[in-house]
Chain A
Amino acid sequence: MSEPIVRAVELSKVYGEGDTTTVALDAVSFSIEPGEFVVLLGPSGSGKTTLLNQIGALEGSTSGTLTVDGVELSGMSEKQRTEYRRRTVGFVFQFYNLVPTLTAHENVALIAEITGDHPDDRSEEVLSSVGLADRSGYFPAELSGGQQQRVAIARGIVKDPPLLLCDEPTGALDLETGQHILDLLRSTTAGTDRTVFLVTHNSTIAQMADRVIRLRDGKIVADDRNDRPLEPAELRW
């Protein structure tokens, strides 16, 4: 068995001070193997997004340890966090947040530029892989929601990160489009060691995952393997 790509030990995150504290994560522990498709499932306020943010080094933890790809995240400086996000993590968010003044190609190339690896070639290749080769010169306002999310996925994977972190990627989409997006997320990681974390409150989507970590009130209440993950097309919500 290979080394876990992500290992959390007694990880906690507390917001606020004194009488107004909120325990968003309460001493969670888990480890994830490379290449797993992990769904973080839970109701609103369960801590799933907080956990995703911890893995993405968007914010620091209060206590405990979190190691990603052999790197301990706690105690990192902001500069180190930026470098970590640049090299290790790709993000896909619910509301895409593409730069409206850049074309699809340029939105992807913007991220590719920071790694310095032939941004134009790489961007075209990745856009093709998400089925948008013929839309690379379009601006976000000229794309549908699903197409914009595909650009966001392309943006997330263009630098070939070991981790792809997705926060409610289908939250703003209809069923059919959402299925396509989930299918895309699956296919772009198939045959690679890329590990995907997908946050959702929709338990249906959890059926396509290799691992489902359920959270409630900041605690992991279940951590299950899915022996027969469904194809996205089979999902109905």
Chain B
Amino acid sequence: MVGVLMFAATYDSYRNLKASYAQTYERLAFADIAISGGSADLASTLAGIDGVAAVTVRRRADVPVLVAETTIRGRLIGMPIGDQPSVDRIDVQRGTYLTQPSDAVAEVHVARTFSLEPGSTIDVLVGSGPTLQIAGVAASAEYIWPAASTNEIFPDAHQFGVFFVDDDLLAGLPPSAVVSETLVTYTADADRATTDDAVRAAAIDAGATGILTMAEQPSNSTLQLDVEGFGTMAIAFPILFLSAAGLAVYVMMTRIVFSQRSIIGTLRASGLSAGELGRHYLGFGLWIGVVGSVVGTVLGVASGAAMTSIYTGELDIPDTVIILRPMTIVIGLSFGVLAGVVSAVVPARTASRTEPAEAMRGAAPAMSGGRSIVERALPWLSRTSVRTRMVMRGIGRAKRRSLATVLGVVLALVLILASGGMIDTVVSLIDQQFNDIALEDASVIPRTPLTDETLSAIASTSGVAVVEPVATLPASIRSDGDTVSTTIRGFEAGTRMHGWSNAAGSLPDHGVLAARSLQQRLGISIGDTVAIDLPTLDTTIDLTLVDFVDEPLGMPLYVRNDVLIGALTSAGVDNAEAVLAEPTTTAALVLFDGTGTRASTISGIERIDGVLTVHDARSLYLQVQQYLGLFYVFVGIMLVFGAVMAFALMFATISVNISERSAEFANMRANGLSERTIGRMIAGENLLLTVLGIVPGVILGVVAANWFMGLFDNDSFSFTVTVHPITIAVAVGGMIVVAILSMIPGIRSVRRLDLGSVVRERAV
């Protein structure tokens, strides 16, 4: 039932989520491809390509915006007043769309964070510094996951927010902050790959500086990664459960057939055919499967609808599509019935092949004895106490049942370690990103171009240890006809604000460092000269690729500030140093000395004239932890299910073992062995089986963790799968605890044996 429930719930949720995204994207005409830069006639060129449905041109800019007394990085997206554009429309949920130039529509995340409602105001802190009035709050297909870029995949709505404004407003902003975009949607019957190629080629010919397909768009790529991973788990995890359930049914059915031998013999002697008998016991399995799968399917479909609603609610997905899918019901029922029937096949065959005469004699077939594999491998074990030998040999007396127990442990460990490995990997990724790579305690956004005076003032603030300027520019790196949108960051020589994972362990004094994922994506190698387009500066620089860095998030480029200035100068940018110092380009990164509190140090920096705002790096870290809350809950549920699965299977096998050997145990008690001794022997057998399952379970669990996390490896995430030794130890310890708990009812039943009557029974 649990397996079918899991399948129906997760598979339906997966399909519902895909449908919800699809409906939102279609309704809001989410761009199939977005191009930055390019010539003025690019739009008309693209409109003439086969498969292109609509083309829109717009501008966007990342500038400081004052929202409810907090200065944040605001992404202003230019929209026409009155009517929405034909591509990348927004879903106005409260208030109205833009009706006048002073209007702004707030994206839902920043609106929620700062309690923005129609009538609220925001101030753009560059250019003419207009005050805009919030006309409405809207959702956007581009920012369902409100990531600023592929290199900034974890958004913090306290520091970054999206606003939809009059496109003409962007004309008054510093050109270095503004990027022009051409957005394209395809026709329903367009071949996506072919059309992508054609559009991409046209865009490159037109001098485009960035090309982002829908698959690469940060919000969509993150969400699709999540959904597809979910979809894989919707199949893989239920299979694990159904396998364990099948094993449990097999164990119970085997016992039932064995205990009914004399009845079977009588029925056969009375004329029942072997086939009819086999079908009778197959029917057991069928009914178990039917009942479990019906209940599981009903609960699963209901759970799937609930899970979909929770998910779309949590992520503010504008559309929630919940469909009752007959195929989910059919597949769920089939899974459950199949598990029940398949697990009953062997016992049913055993029943149908039972010789009537022998069965009616009532005697149990003589069980052949022998030394255990362990004793044969280690002969000295044969000199241990008889009780110890009995434990070692006990696991071999019902080999299939013992194998079922071992497999149950393996399956449970696969589930637990795959889940635990996901948590470990994500924790490791975040730890690496925030503790080994991005080392700053805060970033200071200047009000005016960053000067040495401002830097000195920051450095003199109580609590500040180090301050450095860091430039960040949108960039595209081109190679072999492909272009990847990313960012280029300029650091000071000997910077203390970043941890370097290249071979030299430091930022080189020439050339550029690139993310390892770019090597795979573009086929670039160390020593290559790479062309880097800078759309906000309308220029291209050429730099030598010095080495790669292994970082978990995004595909960044890194360069020394002086190298960047030199490259810009060589590319014809006048006064490159001043251009880079623009507040929209360069921020100051700060390390604290620990003498004051974070709040007091930040407050001291914010009082400096020339400082617009300070973003606490810890705030982003905490925001990320919050995003992962749902993920941790999901993994926690998987861990519990894994333990329950192991318990159920071990309980089933122990119960059968004990009931089969009740006469033997009663005899031992009659002859003076204590309950405690017998209990220890039972425990010994069960723990021995558990240990036999632990080694392959741990190995396969780590393999499964690698496989699962591999599903999430893409341009935005690049990581090494980690399964912490503590996780393995906890999983193994947990299995042993589950094994002990599963034995308790059985051992208690030995204590309650009616010795007087049981010792008279023929052993069965």
Q: Which of A's residues lie within 8 Å of B, judged by CB?
A: 49-50, 53, 56, 58-59, 78-79, 82-83, 85-87, 89-91, 93-95, 97, 99-103, 106, 109-111, 113-115, 119, 139-142, 155-156, 159, 167
Closest to A119 in B: B386
CA distance A139 to B389 in the complex (A): 14
CA distance A216 to B759 in the complex (A): 22
**Interface residue B128 (Cβ < 8 Å from any Cβ of A):** no
Chain A contacts of B664 at CB under 8 A? 97, 99
**Interface residue B397 (Cβ < 8 Å from any Cβ of A):** yes
Give 12 CB contacts A-B under 8 Å.
A49-B760, A56-B670, A59-B754, A82-B673, A95-B761, A97-B666, A100-B368, A106-B389, A109-B386, A113-B387, A114-B672, A114-B673
Chain A contacts of B245 at CB under 8 A? none
**Interface residue B510 (Cβ < 8 Å from any Cβ of A):** no
The number of residues on chain B lying at the interface, defined by a beta carbon within 8 Å of a beta carbon of chain A, is 35
Contact A91 B671 (CB under 8 A): yes
B393, B666, B674, B677: the one contacting A101 at CB < 8 Å is B393
CA distance A110 to B367 in the complex (A): 19
Given known contacts A93-B759, A97-B664, is B386 in contact with A106 (CB within 8 Å)? yes
Within 8 A of A (CB), among B378-411: 385-387, 389-390, 393-394, 396-397
Contact B672 A86 (CB under 8 A): yes
CA distance A90 to B759 in the complex (A): 13
Contact A82 B759 (CB under 8 A): no
Closest to B677 in A: A114
Contact B671 A101 (CB under 8 A): no
Contact B759 A58 (CB under 8 A): yes
CA distance A85 to B670 in the complex (A): 7
**Interface residue B725 (Cβ < 8 Å from any Cβ of A):** no
Chain B 750-764 against A: per-residue CB contact (8 Å), 1 yes, 0 no? 000011100111110
Contact A102 B389 (CB under 8 A): yes
Closest to A156 in B: B671
CA distance A83 to B669 in the complex (A): 10
CA distance A17 to B70 in the complex (A): 81
Chain B contacts of A106 at CB under 8 A? 386, 389-390
**Interface residue B523 (Cβ < 8 Å from any Cβ of A):** no
Closest to B368 in A: A141
Contact A100 B386 (CB under 8 A): no
Contact B367 A100 (CB under 8 A): yes
Q: Which of A89, A94, A139 counts the most B-chain CB atoms under 10 A from its CB? A: A139
Closest to A24 in B: B756
**Interface residue B667 (Cβ < 8 Å from any Cβ of A):** yes
CA distance A103 to B385 in the complex (A): 13
CA distance A50 to B756 in the complex (A): 8
Q: Which of A50, A87, A106, A115 counts the most B-chain CB atoms under 10 A from its CB? A: A106
Contact A139 B368 (CB under 8 A): yes
Contact B390 A101 (CB under 8 A): yes
Chain B contacts of A56 at CB under 8 A? 670
CA distance A97 to B62 in the complex (A): 84
Chain B contacts of A90 at CB under 8 A? 671
**Interface residue B675 (Cβ < 8 Å from any Cβ of A):** yes
**Interface residue B369 (Cβ < 8 Å from any Cβ of A):** yes
Contact B667 A100 (CB under 8 A): no
**Interface residue B663 (Cβ < 8 Å from any Cβ of A):** yes
Kindly provide the distance from the CB of A181 to the nearest chain B CB, expressed in whole angstroms: 17
A83, A111, A139, A167: the one contacting B760 at CB < 8 Å is A167
Chain A contacts of B370 at CB under 8 A? 101, 139
Kindly provide the distance from the CB of B365 to the nearest chain A CB, expressed in whole angstroms: 9
Within 8 A of A (CB), among B426-448: none
CA distance A109 to B382 in the complex (A): 13
Chain B contacts of A139 at CB under 8 A? 368-370
Contact A102 B756 (CB under 8 A): no
**Interface residue B188 (Cβ < 8 Å from any Cβ of A):** no
**Interface residue B366 (Cβ < 8 Å from any Cβ of A):** yes
Chain B contacts of A119 at CB under 8 A? 386
CA distance A168 to B440 in the complex (A): 87
Main secondary structure of the interface of A (DSSP, over half): helix
CA distance A100 to B409 in the complex (A): 27
Contact A82 B386 (CB under 8 A): no
Kindly provide the distance from the CB of B373 to the nearest chain A CB, expressed in whole angstroms: 13
Chain B contacts of A167 at CB under 8 A? 759-760
CA distance A97 to B762 in the complex (A): 8
Chain B contacts of A111 at CB under 8 A? 671-673
Closest to A82 in B: B674
CA distance A58 to B397 in the complex (A): 28
CA distance A106 to B384 in the complex (A): 11
Beyond A100-B368, A101-B369, 8 additional pairs, beta carbon < 8 A: A58-B756, A86-B672, A91-B667, A101-B393, A102-B390, A110-B668, A113-B386, A141-B366
Closest to A56 in B: B670
Chain A contacts of B754 at CB under 8 A? 59
CA distance A16 to B610 in the complex (A): 94
Given known contacts A97-B759, A99-B664, is B369 in contact with A140 (CB within 8 Å)? yes
Kindly provide the distance from the CB of B385 to the nearest chain A CB, expressed in whole angstroms: 6
B366, B389, B669: the one contacting A140 at CB < 8 Å is B366
CA distance A59 to B386 in the complex (A): 27
B366, B368, B390, B763: the one contacting A110 at CB < 8 Å is B390
Closest to B366 in A: A141
Closest to A100 in B: B367
Chain A contacts of B390 at CB under 8 A? 99, 101-102, 106, 110
Chain B contacts of A49 at CB under 8 A? 756, 760
Closest to B755 in A: A58
Chain A contacts of B673 at CB under 8 A? 82, 86, 110-111, 114
Closest to A141 in B: B366
CA distance A210 to B8 in the complex (A): 74
Given known contacts A102-B386, A102-B390, A141-B368, is B763 in contact with A97 (CB within 8 Å)? yes
Chain A contacts of B389 at CB under 8 A? 102, 106
Kindly provide the distance from the CB of B669 to the nearest chain A CB, expressed in whole angstroms: 7
Closest to B663 in A: A97
Contact B672 A85 (CB under 8 A): yes
Chain B contacts of A142 at CB under 8 A? 369
CA distance A155 to B674 in the complex (A): 16
A82, A95, A101, A103: the one contacting B762 at CB < 8 Å is A95
Q: Which of B386, B397, B663, B664 counts the most A-chain CB atoms under 10 A from its CB? A: B386
Chain A contacts of B667 at CB under 8 A? 91, 93, 97
Kindly provide the distance from the CB of A58 to the nearest chain B CB, expressed in whole angstroms: 4
Contact B369 A94 (CB under 8 A): no
CA distance A115 to B674 in the complex (A): 12
Closest to B372 in A: A101
Chain A contacts of B759 at CB under 8 A? 58, 91, 93, 97, 167
CA distance A140 to B666 in the complex (A): 18
CA distance A167 to B757 in the complex (A): 12
Q: Which of A89, A99, A110, A141 counts the most B-chain CB atoms under 10 A from its CB? A: A99
Kindly provide the distance from the CB of B748 to the nearest chain A CB, expressed in whole angstroms: 13
Chain B 640-667 against A: per-residue CB contact (8 Å), 1 yes, 0 no? 0000000000000000000000011011
Chain A contacts of B762 at CB under 8 A? 95
A58, A87, A103: the one contacting B369 at CB < 8 Å is A103
Chain A contacts of B385 at CB under 8 A? 113
